[in-house]
Structure 1
Amino acid sequence: MNLYQNRFAEKLREALTAVSPTIGIVLLLSFTIAPIPPSILLLFLFGAVMLIVGMMFFTLGAELAMTPVGERIGTRIAQSRKLGIVLLLCFVLGFVITISEPDLQVLAEQVPSVPNAVLIVAVAAGVGVFLMIAMLRMLFSKTLRMLLIIFYLLIFALAFFVPDDFISVAFDSGGVTTGPMTVPFIMALGVGFAAVRSDKHAEDDSFGLVALCSIGPILAVLLLGLLYHPENTAYTPSEIPVIRDSVELWKYFATGLPQYIEEIAISLLPIVAFFAVFQIISLKMKGRALLKVVIGILYTYVGLVLFLTGVNVGFMPAGNYLGETIAGLSYRWVLIPIGMVIGYFIVKAEPAVYVLKEQVEEITSGAISGEAMGLSLSLGVAASIGLAMIRVLTGISIFWFILPGYFIALCLSFFVPKIFTAIAFDSGGVASGPMTATFLLPFAMGACQAVGGNIVQDAFGVVAMVAMTPLITIQVMGAIYKYRSEHTEDSGPVEASYLDTWADDDIIEL
C-alpha cells in the first residue's frame, strides 16, 4: 500500500510540474492583454484539476499495464516465427489500437467532408498496414531512413493531387492518431520484438514504430481526398458556453463526463478483448502479475476519462477565446511569441511524452536523458506553434512549411546516429497529442476566425506542425552528441554522458 501511495505522490508531482506552467500562462494573459469571462475561466480551472488527476492515473496505469502487456505481446508475436501470423496479428493490433484512440474521434468530428465511420476505419487500416511494415523492418533489419524517404516522397507526390481542404487534415491525422492509447502499446511492442533479436542493433530498431505508424493515417486521408469531392467543407466552430454560477459549472462537466465514460469504455474494450484472448491462448499470466495489469487498465481508464473530460470541456473554450481575443488586438503579431511560449510548456503535459521519455531512458540505459528529450521537444513545439501562428495571420499554405521541414529532417538522418533518427520521428507523433488537439488547435481556430481566415486551410495543420519540428530538434541533438564523441576520442577517458562510442553507431553498447 505504501508503495502505491509513493507512486501516486510521484505521478501527482509530475502532473503538477507539467501542467502548472500552462495554467500560469493562461491566468497571466487573462489578467493582462486577453481578459477571459469568469465562466470560461472557471471551466478552464476546473478542467485543469481534472487534467492533473487524470494524468496522474493515466501515467501510472500505462506503467503498470500498457507497457508490460505490449512488451509481452510483442515478444510472443515475434517468437511465433510464422510470418503470416505475425503480419496478421500486427494488422489487427494496429487497427484495434487506433480505433481505441480518443483523439481520432475528435479529428473525425472536425472533418465535415468525410463520414466519421469512413474516416476512422480508413485511418485505422492505415495504421494497421504500417505496423506490419514496421515489424517487417525489425524482423529483416532494414534501415528506417530509406523507408521514411520513400513514403514521404509518396505522400508529397500524392498531396499535389488532393484538394487543399484535405491536406492540413491529412497531416494532422498522422499526429493525432499516435496519442495516449497508441504510443504506450506500439513502443512497448517494439521493445518486445527487439528482445527476440540477438544482434547488437536490435534495441536501436525498437524505435521507429510510431514514426512509420504516423505515415499510414496521412496516406489514408489523402486517398480519401481523391475519392470525396464535397461541395461544402466549411468548419463551424462550437459556441463558447456561458456559466453563471458554480452549480451550472458542475452541470456542464456532469453533462460531458458520462459521454467520456462511455467513449473511453468503448475505446478500451478492443484492447482489453485482445489482451484477454492473448492471455488465454499464449501469455498465461498468473497471480500478482495479472492483478497488476488489471489494476493498471483500471487506472488507465479512470485517467483517460478525467483527462479528456478536463481538456475537452475545460480547455477547448479557453483556447478558442484566448486565440480570438489576442488576434483581435491592434498588435496581433504578439500571437506568435505567445503561441511559442504556450507550445514550449504545453508539450510537457502530453501523457504520451512521459511514456516516450521513460522508454528512451530505459532502452539507452540513461545515455539519452529524459531532460534532454523534454528540452528538445519543448523547443521543437515552440518553433512549430510560432510557425503555425504565422500561417494563421498570413494564410500561407502549409506546403511552404511542411515540405522544407521534412526535407531538412530527412537530410539530417544521413548525419546523425540511427537511433536519434528513429527517436526523432517517433517523437513527432508523440508530441502531437490531446493537449495539442484540444487547446492549441482551438487557439489557432479562434485566432483564424478573428482575422477572417479559412479555418480548414489555415488553422488546421497545427498538429502537423507540432509533429514536424521535433524531427529536426532531436536530430540536431544527435548531431551535437556525435560531434562531442568524435572530438573526445583522442582526449582520454570521458564520462558516459558524452556517448563516446556513438561514432560507429553502437549507440546502446556503452
Structure 2
Amino acid sequence: MNFLHTLGHAARNLAPIVIVVVVFQMFVLQTVPEGVLSMAIGLVIVVFGVALFLQGLEMGIFPIGKNLSNALARRGSLILLMAFGFTLGFATVIAEPALIAVAEQAETISEGHIQGFILRLIVALSVGAVVALGILRTVLGHPLHWYILTGYVLVVLVTFFAPEEIVGLAYDSGGVTTNIVTVPLVAALGLGLAASLAGRNPLRDGFGLVALAVMVPMITVQLYGIVVFAGADIDGPAPGAGDGAAMDTDTDLPGAGEERHFLSAMGMDLLLMLRDVAPIIGVIVVFQYFVLRKHIPYLPRVLFGFALVVFGLYAFVVGLKLGLFPIGESMAEQLIANDRFVWVYLFAFAIGFATTMAEPALIAIGQKAEEAAKGSLKGSAIRILVALGVAVGITIGVHRILSGDSIHLYIMAGYVLVIVLTILAPKDIVALAFDLGGVTTSEVTVPLVTALGIGLATHLEGRNVLIDGFGLIAFASIFPIVTVMLYAIAVDLYERLIRKDRRDTA
C-alpha cells in the first residue's frame, strides 16, 4: 500500500505536465506528434522509476541519514559534523537524476568538450564543500545574508569573464543540484542543527544550506568552462543546429540479431547507476561502522531500499529518453514551425506554474517554513509565490532564446536584482527565499524544460545550442527568490505603516 501511495505521488507530480501538453496539442496545435506512443510509454516508465526511487529513499537512505545526523550531533564534534555534511552533499548530488540528465545533454551537445561525469564530479564536490561550510555557519551563528551577498557578487564577477558557451549550463547545474535526493536530507540537517543549538532561530538559521548548495556550483562550473573552452575552436554552426541531432531519442527496439548487444547495454547502464549510488552507500558504511561503530539496523530492509534506488534511477533515465526529452523538443519544434511565438511564451508560463505547484520538495519546504514561522507564513501562499516566480522566470528565459540576446546580460541583471533585494528584505526571510529558489525544479520538470530550451535553440536559425539551449533552469531558480523577497518587503512595509498609523492615532 505504501508503494501505491508513492506511485500516486509520482503520477500527481507528472500530471500537470501531461495536462499542459495535451491542452496545447489539442486546442492550439491541433495535431498528434510523431512517436506519441513511445512518448506515452516513456512517461509511464518515468512514473514507475520515480516511485521506485522514492520508495528506496524512504526504506534505505533517509532513515540511515537521519540516524547518522542525530548520532553525530549528539557526539558534539564539529569536525565530524562538517565531514558528514561534505560527504552527504557529495554523495547525494552525484546521484541526482536531474543533474545526470543535464550532464548527458551537455556532453552530447558540446561534442565532448564538456565531460558529463567530470561536470557532475565538480558540482558534487562543490555542494559537499558548501554543505560543510553551511554547517560551520550555523554552529558559529553567522548571518546567512553575508555569505549569500559575497557568493553572488563572485557569481556575477565570474559570469562577466566566463565564455558564453558555459554560462547557461553553469546556472542550470546549480539549479538542479537541490532536488529529489538532496533537498530532504540537506534541509533536515540544517533544521536539526538549528533546533539543537541554543540561541538559534529555525527560520533564520535552519534554512540556507540549500541556497548555498545552489550558488557555489555556478562559480565552479563557470571556472571549469573557462579552462575547457580556453583556445577551443567553438566557432561555426551549433552542434546539432537545424537537424535535431542534439537530442538523442532513438527508441528502436532491438531485432533478434541485436538482442545480445541490447542486453549488454542494459547491464552496463545498470552498473553505471550502481556507480552513481555507490558514494551514498560508501558514506553510510564509513560513518556507521568506522566512526559510530554501530551496526545498521534492519539491514535487509536497507539493502532492498538501495536496490530500489538503483533500479528506479535506471528506469527514470530510460523514461526520460523515451518520453520527456522528445516531448520538450516536439513542442518547441511544432510551436516554432507554426510561427506561434505567443503560444511559446504561454506554454513556458503554464509549464512553469503547473509543475511547480505540484513539486513535492517545495511542498515539504513550505510546510517546514510554516512550522518554523509559527503560522506567520502560510505554506500555500509560499507555493503560489514560488510558482509565479518560476513561470515568469522560464518565460523570460524563453524570450532570451527567441530574441537571441546574450545570457550574460540577463543573468547578471537578475542576480544584481537579487543582491539588492537581499539587502532590503527582512533578514528572517532571506535564507528561506534562497532555499525556495533551489527547490523549484522537480525531477520531471528539469528534463522537460531543458529539452524545451534545447529544442528552441535547435530549430531557430542562427542559434547555438550550447550557448542558447541552456539557461531556462537558471531563470526558474532566480525569480522565485525575487517574488518571495518582494512579498516579504511588501508585508514588512505594510506592517510598519499599520504600526505608524496606530501610534499616530493613539
TM-score band, normalised by shorter chain: 0.7 to 0.9
Whether 1:454 and 2:454 are equivalent positions in the alignment is no
- Residue 504 of structure 1 corresponds to none
Is the 1:166–1:225 Cα contact (8 Å) retained in structure 2? yes
Percent identical: 27
| Distance of 2:389 and 2:94 partners within structure 1 | 28
- Residue 95 of structure 1 corresponds to 90
Give per-residue Cα distances to partners, 1:390-416, cap 9 Å, x unaligned: 011101112332223222323333444
Query: In terms of mean alpha carbon deviation, does 373-382 or 354-363 score higher?
Result: 354-363
- Residue 440 of structure 2 corresponds to 431
Is the 2:202–2:372 Cα contact (8 Å) retained in structure 1? no
Whether 1:142 and 2:142 are equivalent positions in the alignment is yes
Is the 1:119–1:221 Cα contact (8 Å) retained in structure 2? yes
Q: Please give the secondary structure, in 1, of the residue aligned with 2:339.
A: coil
- Residue 21 of structure 2 corresponds to 26
**Normalising by the residue count of structure 2, what TM-score does the alignment of the two structures yield?**
0.84
Q: CA deviation at 1:254?
A: 8.8
Matching of residues 61-460 of structure 1 within 5 Å: 61-63=56-58, 65-109=60-104, 110-111=106-107, 112=110, 113-202=113-202, 204-228=204-228, 229=230, 230-232=232-234, 234-236=238-240, 237-241=246-250, 261-280=270-289, 281-282=291-292, 284=294, 296-348=305-357, 350=359, 352-361=361-370, 363-364=372-373, 368-452=377-461, 453-460=463-470
Is the 1:91–1:129 Cα contact (8 Å) retained in structure 2? yes
5+ long unaligned stretches in structure 2: 241-245
Q: Please give the secondary structure, in 1, of the residue aligned with 2:431.
A: helix
Query: In terms of mean alpha carbon deviation, does 79-88 or 442-451 score higher?
Result: 79-88
5+ long unaligned stretches in structure 1: 493-510
Q: Please give the secondary structure, in 1, of the residue aligned with 2:411.
A: helix
Give per-residue Cα distances to partners, 1:57-80, cap 9 Å, x unaligned: 444544555444333333344444
| Distance of 2:339 and 2:96 partners within structure 1 | 40
Is the 1:8–1:60 Cα contact (8 Å) retained in structure 2? yes
Is the 2:16–2:358 Cα contact (8 Å) retained in structure 1? no
Is the 1:360–1:368 Cα contact (8 Å) retained in structure 2? yes
| Distance of 2:193 and 2:79 partners within structure 1 | 16
Letter in 2 for 1:460: F
1:239–1:341 CA distance, 2 compared to 1 (3 A): same
Q: CA deviation at 1:377?
A: 2.4
Q: Please give the secondary structure, in 1, of the residue aligned with 2:179.
A: coil
Is the 1:344–1:378 Cα contact (8 Å) retained in structure 2? yes
Is the 1:168–1:460 Cα contact (8 Å) retained in structure 2? yes
Q: CA deviation at 1:92?
A: 3.0
Query: In terms of mean alpha carbon deviation, does 296-305 or 164-173 score higher?
Result: 296-305
Once superposed, what is the RMSD of the aligned Cα atoms? 3.5
Give per-residue Cα distances to partners, 1:26-51, cap 9 Å, x unaligned: 12222344366565211222222233
Q: CA deviation at 1:99?
A: 2.0
| Distance of 2:398 and 2:202 partners within structure 1 | 40
Is the 2:422–2:485 Cα contact (8 Å) retained in structure 1? yes
Query: In terms of mean alpha carbon deviation, does 63-72 or 144-153 score higher?
Result: 63-72
Letter in 2 for 1:400: L
| Distance of 1:291 and 1:27 partners within structure 2 | 43
Q: CA deviation at 1:467?
A: 1.2
Residue 36 of structure 2: which of 26, 36, 41 is its match? 41
1:328–1:179 CA distance, 2 compared to 1 (3 A): same
1:90–1:254 CA distance, 2 compared to 1 (3 A): same
| Distance of 1:345 and 1:404 partners within structure 2 | 26
Query: In terms of mean alpha carbon deviation, does 315-324 or 124-133 score higher?
Result: 124-133
| Distance of 1:86 and 1:171 partners within structure 2 | 28
Paired residues, what number? 483
1:108–1:240 CA distance, 2 compared to 1 (3 A): closer
Is the 1:175–1:433 Cα contact (8 Å) retained in structure 2? no
1:38–1:96 CA distance, 2 compared to 1 (3 A): same
Is the 1:172–1:464 Cα contact (8 Å) retained in structure 2? yes
